[in-house]
Amino acid sequence: MMKSSNSKDMVLRAAKAAAVPLLVWAVMQVIDMAFAGMGVINNSADIKTLFRNLISSLAFALAIGANLNCGRMDLSLGAQMYAGVIFGGNIALMLNVGGIGVLILSMAVGALCGLVTGFIFINLRILPMVLGLGMTLVFECICFAINNQQGVILYGKPGVEILSNITFIVIVTAAIVLFAYYFFQLSGYGFKYRAIQGSQKLAADAGINIYSNCVICYVIAGALAACAGVFITIYQGNLTPVLGMSSNGRVFSNMFPMVLGTWIGGLCHNREGGILMGAVTVNIIILGLTKLGLSNSVQNVIIYALFLTFVVYNTNRSKIDYYKARRVRVAQAQEMMSRKAAGH
């Protein structure tokens, strides 16, 4: 009976997680068929585009959430992505280690950038957002100074075509989700991580080293951001360095999948699986808007408007529930008073 109950519970949670992207797909399908005469996904190219964008959104959303769940907003993740891909990618191309080498070395450099940022944070105790802005400028300038401002070019390079392979993308996506779930939920580190989420003071009083936990979190976030950057770069063909904190756009553009995914994770009691479904949902919306022939600027306006609407709703959800319950109580009180009056 217990196993049967657990199985039903798992199926129910999976259904709740999948319901959001399926509902959004149905809505976008109707809109696209009505105004563009085609569906959201029509051919293999659409599927490849969806998966390419999915893995970058997923990895970046997990990177943002890793620190944000502990109250640290790291705005330097976009710059860490640039540094990881430009340095790691160029090293891998010089060593001729192929696409997998590009991915591994980029993630290693991204992790190193996260290590530097985390080490500075725990020693200088600068506000995370202020530190993130400063590190963004540092990493952007370093990236701009090397390789004659050309960044990294993957287009036409031998051995990197595996990064565009759908099977490989699916494998990496599954590996990222499973790793994140084990690392943040099941491992010893995850136990301490969740304890710090509840209260850093109580966790420190219990003997947990909150500083090493913080640095490890920055390292993982940097590696995930670089992983996202590799698939962005292979899709674009190259990654050119930017200045003036322009790399922050990568952080803000992936906030929607992270916030939506965290909400879905609350429904299915699985944060990592929820973020996966959140990334799928947002990318379905983007793909659907593309089929309508809308420009990137118009798409961004719509996406950010939806993001803002969702944040407002999610922030005030408790108030909405309170007013609903209040109306129910008022209706019950009025019905009781009318019964008493009828009895007299």
Per-residue pLDDT of the chain (344 residues; tens, 9 = 90+): 445 566 677 778 778 788 889 999 999 999 988 888 888 888 888 888 888 889 999 999 999 998 888 888 889 999 999 999 999 999 999 998 888 999 999 999 999 999 999 999 999 888 888 999 999 999 999 988 887 778 888 888 888 888 888 999 999 999 999 999 999 988 888 888 888 887 788 888 888 888 888 999 999 999 999 999 999 999 888 888 888 888 888 888 889 999 998 888 888 888 888 999 999 999 999 999 988 888 888 888 999 999 998 888 888 877 777 777 777 777 777 777 777 777 65
Assign 291 to helix, strand or coil: helix
The residue type of 249 is G
Q: Find out whether 88 and 107 touch, Cβ atoms under 8 Å.
A: yes
Residue 324: CB partners within 8 Å, gap ≥ 6?
none
The gap between the terminal CA atoms of the chain, to the nearest Å, is 53
CATH classification of 41-293, choosing from 3.30.750, 1.10.3470, 1.10.287, 3.30.70?
1.10.3470
Only one residue has tokens 């390789």, namely 147
